[in-house]
Amino acid sequence: MSDNVYKSIEVTGSSTTSIDDAIRGAVAKAAESVRNLEWFEVGDVRGHIEDGAVAHFQVTVKLGFRLD
């Protein structure tokens, strides 16, 4: 049995279309420079309003990755 050690970071994704897209964008961007991503946890959800309508969804995501 192998023991693993994990580290977590927080990133914030933004999307003009949905919370789901904001999460997926944050994970995809982090995956470009962080190896061994294994889990995510949604933290804060907020948005930006322009002219009385939602302009952007912003989602802070905690990402966990396994250390080598």
Q: Which domains does the chain have, with CATH numbers?
A: 6-66 (3.30.1660.10)
pTM comes to 0.88
User: Per-residue confidence of the chain (68 residues) as pLDDT tens digits?
Assistant: 478 999 999 999 999 999 999 999 999 999 999 999 999 999 999 999 999 999 999 999 999 999 98
The answer for residues whose C-beta is within 8 angstroms of residue 28's C-beta and 6 or more apart is none
Tell me the C-alpha distance between 52 and 61, whole Å: 26
Instruction: Let me know: does 64 contact 8? Beta carbons within 8 Å.
Output: yes
| Cβ within 8 Å of residue 2, ≥6 positions away | none
Residue environment code for 39-53, b if the CB has 16+ CB neighbours within 10 A, otherwise e: ebeeeeeeeeeeeee
